[in-house]
Amino acid sequence: MTPDIDPVIELNKLTKFYGKSRGIIDVDLSVKRGEVFGFLGPNGAGKSTAIRTILDLIRPTSGWARVNGMDPTKEGAKVRRSVGYLPSDFGTYKSMTAKAYLRTLLEMMDYRGQDRIEELAGRLDLDLKRRIKDFSRGNRQKIGVVSAFMHNPKLAILDEPTTGLDPLMQQEFYRIVLEEKSKENTVFLSSHILAEVESICDRVGIIREGRLIMVENMSTFKKKTGKVLNVEFDRKVDPYIFMSLPGVSDIKVGEENILIMTVSSHIDGVIKELARHTIIDLTYDEVSLEDLFLKYYGKENVSHNRNGARGVVQ
């Protein structure tokens, strides 16, 4: 591993086993100061294990981590006070109001600076006077987001941060993250949502079955994703017409004169070719994380999709 200058998070062969069960294996990673880093993988891939090991909430089996220049196994409490942390399944004191709970967290961190509780609560439409037991899942998640940023940390580590948030609040969360980046603060967030990582991250790492299998700049990563077009024509259309176009891959022949294709670039050429035919219907969706794994990082070259397509044309 070639470390970046002044990395905020640095991992070297970080490994965690639970008895004989796999957690994470030989994870090497360096996260730069001032970047938004996306930690992407399906549920069970090892994202939460990696984060908990970084913060010394669990101890590694082997390898090491550094956070803000500190060794978590020796300075775990100091490391945790230096970051904003949102776990995937954080607990709360449900009898407290949201404000009392957040103030209690600040006291436990011995934080004495200017906090952002009121500001962030306003942006997320969070009623600080209500008791947490009366909150919906989404409102409890807002408390977690506020807790991660309320003490102005230089590094925020967020595990599935948008779970339960409605689309408007997700967009506000993205704005908060990008504002942190503009301050040259660092945000490390895990997600299993491809579009979320694409929208706000500078770099992305993909973890699968406990191993970090790829780290790339987002511009490079986006070339490997794209949109899935589902096109219904008025008659059968030769799929090879589209397969020959730049940026088109994974053509699948569906039922009722339907073609399903992944378009990662050169959308203009695809649209011009579509215009030569009579189209009954057209929809598009994001490439799924599972299909991305199968296509670029899997052991197989065959994928399925939820539209009942058959006959993959490679």
Sheet of strand 155-159: strand arrangement: 83-86, 155-159, 186-191, 36-40, 203-208, 211-217
Which residue did the predictor score with more confidence, 58 or 306? Answer: 58
**Alpha-carbon distances of 181 from 28, 37, 156, 168, 186, rounded to whole Å:** 23, 10, 11, 20, 6
pLDDT in tens, 231-244: 999 999 999 899 88
Confidence of residue 307 (pLDDT cuts 50, 70, 90): very low
Is the pLDDT at 284 greater than 60? The verdict is: yes
Cα 179 to chain center, whole Å? 17
pLDDT for 309: 36
Q: What is the pLDDT of residues 138-181, one digit of tens each?
A: 999 999 999 999 999 999 999 999 999 999 999 999 999 999 99
Give domain 9-222's CATH architecture: 3-Layer(aba) Sandwich (3.40)
* Mean pLDDT, all residues of the chain: 88
Using only the alpha carbons of the chain, give its radius of gyration.
Answer: 22
If you ran DSSP here, which 8-state letter would residue 57 be given?
A: S
> Domain limits of the chain?
9-222, 227-313
Q: From CA 279, how far away is CA 272, in angstroms rounded? A: 12
The Cβ of residue 200 has, within 10 Å, a number of other Cβ atoms equal to: 19
Residue type, 131: R
Annotation: CATH topology of 227-313: Alpha-Beta Plaits (3.30.70)
In angstroms, the CA 212 to CA 63 distance is: 14
Provide the CB-side half-sphere exposure for 223 (13 A, CA): 5
Higher-pLDDT residue of 128 and 221 is: 128
Long-range contacts (CB closer than 8 Å, 24 or more residues apart) made by 198-205: 198/222, 198/225, 199/174, 200/36, 200/38, 200/174, 201/36, 201/37, 201/38, 202/35, 202/36, 202/37, 203/35, 203/37, 203/38, 204/37, 204/38, 204/39, 204/40, 205/29, 205/37, 205/38, 205/39, 205/40
- Tell me the pLDDT band of 293, cut-offs 50, 70 and 90: low
Q: Is 231 helix (H, G, I), strand (E, B) or coil?
A: strand
pLDDT in tens, 82-113: 999 999 888 788 899 999 999 999 999 989 88
